[in-house]
Structure 1
Amino acid sequence: MADVVDLCARLVRFDTTNRGHGDSEGEREAAEFVAGVLSGAGVEPKVLESAPRRANVLARVPGTDPSLPALLVQGHLDVVPADAADWSVHPFSGEVRDGCLWGRGAVDMKDFCAMVLSLVAEGLRPRRDLVLAFVADEEDRGEWGAHWLAAEHREYFEGCAAAISESGAYTYHVPAADGRTVRLYPVGTAERGTAHMRLTARGRAGHGSRRNDENAVVRLVAALHRIASHRWPVQLTPTVEAFLVRTGEALGVEVDLSDVDGTLARLGPAASLAENTVRNSSTPTMLDAGYKVNVIPSVARAQLDTRTLPGTEEDLLAQLDALLGPGVEREFVAHQPPVQAPVDSPWFAAMADALRAEDPEAVVVPYCMGGGTDAKAFSPLGIDCYGFAPLWLPEGFPYRAMAHGVDERVPVAGLEFGKRVLGNLLSSV
């Protein structure tokens, strides 16, 4: 039961598809499986349902030094949809083939959940108490998972000083200026905030054949054009600045913080880890207007996927309001703050040490996630949240195409490496 590959395969075989808007399946069965593994290891789990079958598992593993603040270790059990017709294997088969374990959730993020369960099942003795949270609904809005737990069961997280979860500490092979290949391991120390918005343009309804200077569709399209054309300024956060400086040093390339775009160009493939987080962004993604081709509607709507860097939201909203123009209003559809944890902290140092214990040539750098995770639920509780789900990846492995992609898979050797690194961290930090 403690084998990490077997545990990951068994988790993948639970179809925990989350289609959004409350439409999900399998979270309860997966949660019961997790609870069974924990119970078998002598750890008492609590299965909490936020709604029928929207199950979350909480548990506490005592540390050898109870005077230390606890560490939250959290992961989600739900996955995004997968169409079996597009895959080389069935997405919920958990099949091992060509040195990889295949299936939806293999890297997002049942691999991490399996590592944690495997360590606990083998009798992990952490230095400090661990609060374990295996949650529902991360792939939608988290309202049945992490955000519900943080709001309704906050007492479980009291005393947690830091947290680790997905999207960090994986191998990233990058060519250096001198021809070497550097193995970067980006650890998430920040993530942009989410400010999804609905725009509503109002005007005068009328016949499509007649002139109308108050056409709601025209007003909306003009606003969207201004927003899409706007070039948001570079705004370096501590995480992104540290990433640029440390990555440039490791690769032997010039870093000029007064010319961030030029610096990114010199970083080669490593630039993809920062190019979306040196600025805010606001991307039009949805449109809704009209009901008949010869009728000018009085209302037209659109939605924006807006992402905000720490400390920048007030200025961004003011600029957006200026870009909207007359007759167009905005409102939030989803609004979650950015996440930012200290870069130079004992936590980060311990994570770097744990990685270098398994890969002595690892170059560990902080980075800012362009999207979001359940860290947005736990960070407001005063918990420093880090993206640390260690994974060894061979050169050329298309890791960034795996999460939410077709033929999602994780290298078996990567799982075993990740388990060792995680064990190093949790037994020493």
Structure 2
Amino acid sequence: MSSTENNRSPCRAEAEIVDLVSSLIRFDTSNTGDPSTTKGERDCAEWVAAQLQEVGYETEYVESGAPGRGNVFARLKGADSSRGALMLHGHLDVVPAEPADWRVHPFAGAVEDGYVWGRGAIDMKDMVGMILAVARQFKAEGTVPPRDLVFAFVADEEAGGKFGCQWLVENRPDLFEGVTEAVGEVGGFSLTVPKPDGSERRLYLVETAEKGLGWMRLTAKGRAGHGSFLHEDNAVTILAQAVARLGAHRFPLVVPDSVAEFLEAVGNETGLDFDPASPDLDGTLAKLGSIANIIGATLRDTVNPTMLEAGYKANVIPQTAHAVVDCRILPGRQAEFEKTVDELIGPDVTREWVTKLDSYETTFDGHLVDAMNDAILANDSEARTVPYMLSGGTDAKAFAKLGIRCFGFAPLQLPADLDFSALFHGVDERVPVDALKFGTRVLEHLLKHS
């Protein structure tokens, strides 16, 4: 329970949020990255549209570049339409899940032990549900927000947005007409940190920056031959050595502005020294618990080998070998990153970008940031909002191309001992029921004062 919550009756949005999220999870919108095996978002998108239409919205359903890749848009007119519109966006697809690995079926939307369980519970059908719940409440009750609101429910985020936000931005920019700011994932969640006096403080992390995302395909060519012969020109060996060099490389420490602001704020609260020049910075970060994995990854570029492909028979040396590496690049580091990769893989391996999305960074200021802070404090009076950089990527990368200023703010008040970062794409993904209700109240406040 938040420090300012009382015995008032729950608002309409808060009362239905759990049922909405549970229903959303029951739609299996698994995105494998392969259009031939991806289930698509059509059924879920049509259900979302029906929930909006039920309370009086006019909705637009759009398929983004491929059959079944469903997206839904709706607008709510505000008191001052001359102001730039605010967009609330959430993706409907999820990463696949293997039911045998889970305590509960990942697409059952079960509510047990104070949690809503299932794939997408925190990435990101929780936020989709909160957006939908507040949108329904505003329309049903006749609430007029300060400015126009655009509600966007989109496809294909988990595979980079080629059949989602990227297609929409390139082919249907009219859907975003007048939008100047946007709120989506991954931010607004609480991080409980220890204070020097033994007490604790909840910080709410607002995402103001994202690393660039790129999936790079490496290719090595050699001379085919019989597996029993001496062979010095083996494509598999050439590729394996290059991949090993990439995997073992540690990129230099770089501290972007958003990360520096985060470290300063956390240092002020905890008394810990997060000096970027400290040789034990990684060790100090570890004292923050599970969130250290995310923050540590925003201090340097990373490249992780993820896929290997070569050969077709045990006794045949193949002519070609391929690998895929996952690249995450800090703002302003693209050219230096690619130069380093070229040096590491050497002249006998070629590379190409399969997917390449730019980094993004904005400042932690302005009316919308103030409104986020006020919305959190209205529901948790002892809290503090701080900016941070996401080590991954979101649909904000595409929306930023239209000049839209983007933030990650899907508010959740989390138990201090919950390993939140491990739930993203993890087994037994779940979201606390109380966190959903808290987030819905925060989002309602934000949209009434944005």
Cα distance in 1 for partners of 2:29, 2:225 equals 48
- Write the mapping of 1:235-384 to structure 2, written as runs, cut at 5 A: 235-259=254-278, 262-267=280-285, 268-269=287-288, 270-384=291-405
Which residue matches 1:408? 429
Contact 1:342 1:384 survives alignment (8 Å) = no
Cα distance in 2 for partners of 1:172, 1:316 equals 31
Cα distance in 1 for partners of 2:67, 2:83 equals 36
**1:421 aligned onto 2:442:** yes
Contact 2:226 2:315 survives alignment (8 Å) = yes
| Aligned partner letter, 2:20 | L
- Write the mapping of 1:188-267 to structure 2, written as runs, cut at 5 A: 188-259=207-278, 262-267=280-285
Query: Which of 403, 408, 416 pairs up with 1:395?
Result: 416
Cα distance in 2 for partners of 1:361, 1:300 equals 56
Contact 1:84 1:90 survives alignment (8 Å) = yes
**1:115 aligned onto 2:130:** yes
Cα distance in 2 for partners of 1:294, 1:91 equals 42
Cα distance in 2 for partners of 1:409, 1:222 equals 40
Bigger shift: 153-162 or 416-425? 153-162
| Residue-by-residue CA offset, 1:315-339 (whole Å, 9 max, x unaligned) | 1101111111121111111111112
Bigger shift: 205-214 or 11-20? 205-214
Displacement after TM superposition at 1:397 (Å): 2.1
The count of corresponding residues between Structure 1 and Structure 2 is 428
**1:64 aligned onto 2:79:** yes
Cα distance in 2 for partners of 1:199, 1:371 equals 21
| Aligned partner letter, 2:281 | T
Which residue matches 1:79? 94
Contact 1:250 1:363 survives alignment (8 Å) = no
Contact 1:248 1:255 survives alignment (8 Å) = yes
Contact 1:171 1:393 survives alignment (8 Å) = yes
Contact 2:306 2:326 survives alignment (8 Å) = yes
What TM-score, normalized by structure 2, do the two folds share?
A: 0.90
What TM-score, normalized by structure 1, do the two folds share?
A: 0.95
Q: Residues 405 and 255 of structure 1: is their aligned pair in 2 closer, same or farther, counting only changes over 3 Å?
A: closer
Displacement after TM superposition at 1:310 (Å): 0.8
Bigger shift: 4-13 or 309-318? 4-13
Cα distance in 2 for partners of 1:326, 1:359 equals 56
Displacement after TM superposition at 1:220 (Å): 1.3
Q: Residues 388 and 226 of structure 1: is their aligned pair in 2 closer, same or farther, counting only changes over 3 Å?
A: same
Secondary structure of the structure 2 residue equivalent to 1:247: helix
**1:154 aligned onto 2:154:** no
| Residue-by-residue CA offset, 1:165-215 (whole Å, 9 max, x unaligned) | 111111222223432222121111111111211111122233334433322
Runs of 5+ consecutive residues of structure 1 not aligned to the other structure? none
**1:168 aligned onto 2:211:** no
Contact 1:14 1:26 survives alignment (8 Å) = no
| Residue-by-residue CA offset, 1:76-125 (whole Å, 9 max, x unaligned) | 11122222222222222222221112222221111111111111211243
- Write the mapping of 1:24-43 to structure 2, written as runs, cut at 5 A: 24-25=38-39, 27-43=41-57
| Aligned partner letter, 1:421 | V
| Aligned partner letter, 1:420 | R
Structure 1 runs of 4+ with >4 Å offset: none
Contact 1:82 1:91 survives alignment (8 Å) = yes
Which residue matches 2:9? none
Contact 2:294 2:421 survives alignment (8 Å) = no
Cα distance in 2 for partners of 1:291, 1:8 equals 45
Which residue matches 1:105? 120
Which residue matches 1:140? 159
Cα distance in 2 for partners of 1:90, 1:216 equals 43
Displacement after TM superposition at 1:295 (Å): 3.1
Displacement after TM superposition at 1:274 (Å): 1.2
Cα RMSD (Å) of the superposition? 1.8
Displacement after TM superposition at 1:240 (Å): 0.9
Which residue matches 1:8? 21
Runs of 5+ consecutive residues of structure 2 not aligned to the other structure? 1-11
**1:49 aligned onto 2:63:** yes
> Percent identity over the alignment?
48
| Residue-by-residue CA offset, 1:36-82 (whole Å, 9 max, x unaligned) | 22122222110112232221001111111112101111001112222
Cα distance in 1 for partners of 2:187, 2:385 equals 10
Q: Residues 265 and 347 of structure 1: is their aligned pair in 2 closer, same or farther, counting only changes over 3 Å?
A: farther
Contact 1:41 1:120 survives alignment (8 Å) = no
Bigger shift: 185-194 or 79-88? 79-88
| Residue-by-residue CA offset, 1:148-173 (whole Å, 9 max, x unaligned) | 11111111213211111111111222
Bigger shift: 209-218 or 143-152? 209-218
Displacement after TM superposition at 1:427 (Å): 0.9
Cα distance in 2 for partners of 1:390, 1:45 equals 25
